[in-house]
Amino acid sequence: MANSTGTRETLAPVPPRESRLGWLDALRAVAALVVVYEHALNPLYPELRAVTGPWFDAGIYGVMVFFLVSGYVIPASLERRGSVAGFWAGRFFRLYPLWAVAVAAALLLAVSGVDPMHVWLTDRPASAVLGHLTMLQDLLNVPNVLNVLWTLSYEMAFYLLVTALYVAGVHRRSAEVAFGFGAAAVLLGGVLPSVLLSRGAGATLGTVLAVIALVGCGLAGVLSGRPGARRAGALVLGVVVLGLILVNGRIPAWQSLTILATMFAGTALYRVRDGQVAPWRAAALAGSVPVAAVAAALWHGDGVPWPWASAVLAAWATFAAGMLLARRRVPAWWAWLGMVSYSVYLLHPILLEIVDGLLADPAAVAWPYRAGLGVVVLGALLGCAALTYRLVEAPAQRAGKRIAARFVK
């Protein structure tokens, strides 16, 4: 881990550096395009939602594939670097530059009148701005400027928990953590409250400020060179994130807990494949997660059990297929789609909001016209994604790698 000088400490053996895995890019591409499809249904193809909606939630499928991929790669990134500071530098430059572009585009749509902001965002600007800057806004009762940003709150929560576990020296227990979150989703998911700490304008701002202070102190602690401060920082980060997940999420607790179980299950599968842990026990614990997800949905998911459960199972099946076919060569175009998937994911709501403004009643428009418009939108989206990857993502990632390298000696 990183000490005060940023050098690597031998907390645990670090697995060898892996080359870029094409099958993970392929999964990212699938996930991003399925999420685009889900969000295109209302403005373009409402008839399809009426047919598939009662049985399958394509949006949940897509984000669950993303969460499995994140679980598989993110902890490995931290452990290969062996530097907490380097890890966070890389994550900052990976997420925030394009996030800023997407948020700016959403604000431009709001100012132009195409997609007015949620009244909450204009009435409580301090909470809105500060909450979004943490990327934890969906766990702070702050409405998302873009609908897809809610998943970044769970990514950020995962990064904080991964950091805490790494500093505490228990990061290899991913399978046990996944099992624990899955069990909690089933046993506690129906009784835990939502937005308990953020009800009302004053309470929301207070919670946002408290979380900023606590996470800041926690990160300062884990980046410290003092063992006691590192342990205290890890404890603070763990308590804050668990508190938000358990009682302050926008979505029901059983869903929040299932998401984290899914991400840590992805980590457990990475450890199995990398030979770090006993395969059968870890695989069994991780494999309990989709079972727990379905059980939690059926028990606690009023109105959404079957679409949600089928989406989760399909996501797991897709990830399993990816692992089985990992040695197969991925076509260059497919790998490219995975490479630009973050741009596709963040930018597609912008284009679809414009379409939504053009088609007041899509069902009244001839199907061939809407199909053609969908092709145009997809082409424009891929063009924008290529541009933002080249001008924003790639330069930012290179900068992040240069800065992260300074912390690893």
**228 burial class (0-12, 13-18, 19+ CB within 10 angstroms)?**
exposed
Count CB-CB contacts under 10 A for residue 361: 7
Residues contacting residue 30 through CB under 8 Å, at least 6 positions apart: 62, 65, 318
Residue 390: predicted pLDDT? 98
Asked whether residue 216 is assigned to any structural domain, the reply reads yes
Q: What is the mean pLDDT of the chain?
A: 92
pLDDT digits (tens, 9 = 90+) for 143-176: 999 999 999 999 999 999 999 999 999 999 999 9
Q: Quote the crossing angle between the two packed helices 305-324 and 279-300, to the nearest 10°.
A: 160
Decide: 203 and 209 in contact? Cβ < 8 Å.
Answer: no
pLDDT digits (tens, 9 = 90+) for 41-92: 999 999 999 999 899 999 999 999 999 999 999 999 999 889 999 999 999 9
Decide: 251 and 154 in contact? Cβ < 8 Å.
Answer: no
Report d(CA 318, CA 394) in Å as an integer.
28
Residues contacting residue 257 through CB under 8 Å, at least 6 positions apart: 181, 182, 184, 185, 188, 189, 245, 246, 296
**368 burial class (0-12, 13-18, 19+ CB within 10 angstroms)?**
exposed
Asked whether residue 2 is assigned to any structural domain, the reply reads no
User: Which residues, listed in sequence order, are joined to residue 8 by a DSSP beta bridge?
Assistant: 2
pTM of the model: 0.93
Asked whether residue 8 is assigned to any structural domain, the reply reads no
Q: Which of 287, 263, 250 has the alpha carbon at shortest distance from 75?
A: 263
Asked whether residue 303 is assigned to any structural domain, the reply reads yes
**Number of separate domains in the chain:** 1
Q: How many residues are given for the chain?
A: 409
Report d(CA 45, CA 363) in Å as an integer.
7
Looking at 224-290, which runs of residues are DSSP E strands? none
Q: Which residue has the tokens 């006691």?
A: 228
- Nearest 10 degrees: Cα torsion 255, 118, 379, 319: -10
Report d(CA 304, CA 301) in Å as an integer.
5
Asked whether residue 11 is assigned to any structural domain, the reply reads no
Count CB-CB contacts under 10 A for residue 60: 24
Asked whether residue 156 is assigned to any structural domain, the reply reads yes
Residue 20: predicted pLDDT? 53
Residue 3: predicted pLDDT? 44
Decide: 223 and 208 in contact? Cβ < 8 Å.
Answer: no
User: The dihedral of CA 399, 400, 406, 408: what is its sign?
Assistant: negative
Report d(CA 354, CA 115) in Å as an integer.
8
Asked whether residue 1 is assigned to any structural domain, the reply reads no
Instruction: Identify the domain containing residue 98 by its residue range.
Output: 22-405
Residue 69: left if φ>0, alpha if ψ -120 to 50, beta else—which one? alpha
Residue 135: left if φ>0, alpha if ψ -120 to 50, beta else—which one? left
Decide: 376 and 358 in contact? Cβ < 8 Å.
Answer: no
| Ranges of the chain whose pLDDT falls below 50 | 1-19
